[in-house]
Amino acid sequence: MSITEANRLEELSGSRFEVADGQPDVRQWEVEDLHGNKLGKVDDLLFNPASRRVRYLVVNLKGNRLGLSERKVLLPIGVAILHGKDDTVLLPEVSHMQINILPFYEKGVTVTPDMEQDIRNVFVTPGAYNDGNSDFYNHDQFNQERFYGLRYPGDNRV
């Protein structure tokens, strides 16, 4: 899928889709850094209905304990992982500075290719991922297996 198809993302809440049987519904789960600092909660999931792949976590930073601006942001699913046992989403390699420079997200706003590129550039040096592959989502930032890894080792959930 190319980035030009990015505007086909939908929020799971209010869509005709639901979390697949046997998969955790991470909405309303706490989001923490590896030091246990609360960053916010997962408000929703943005997914592509055609591929049925989750691309982003919508994270509400309200109530964070790090002085981050309280707003909703999009985090590519591959930058987060599920805690091995607790109902918590962890951000093992994401700095507070990266979260602070993410663009604001509002429910119902079309996610444009430029917005997705801006989000991606927060986590990767521009050009570092240009391997000639035209699939924007073929990158670790969008790797669902990494997200579910600790909870479901060896399980390739979609």
pLDDT tens-digit map of 38-84: 999 999 999 999 888 999 999 999 999 889 999 999 999 999 999 98
pLDDT for 151 beyond 70: no
Q: Look at residue 14 and give its three-state secondary structure.
A: coil
* Neighbouring-strand partners of residue 44: 58
Q: What are 81's strand-pairing partners?
A: 90
Mean of pLDDT over the chain: 85
Mean pLDDT of 17-45: 93
Is 1 a residue whose pLDDT tops 50? Answer: no
Regarding predicted confidence, which is higher, 145 or 60? 60
How confident is the model at residue 130, as a pLDDT? 54
pLDDT at 132 over 70: no
Please determine, for residue 134, whether its predicted confidence score (pLDDT) is greater than 80.
no
List, in sequence order, every beta strand (DSSP E) within the chain. 10-11, 30-33, 38-48, 53-60, 72-76, 81-82, 88-91
Mean pLDDT of 116-137: 73
Confidence category of residue 138, pLDDT binned at 50, 70, 90: confident
The pLDDT, as a whole number, for residue 155 is 44
pTM of the model: 0.85
pLDDT at position 146 over 80: yes
Q: What is the pLDDT of residue 157?
A: 39
Dihedral pair phi/psi, residue 140, rounded to 5°: -55, -30
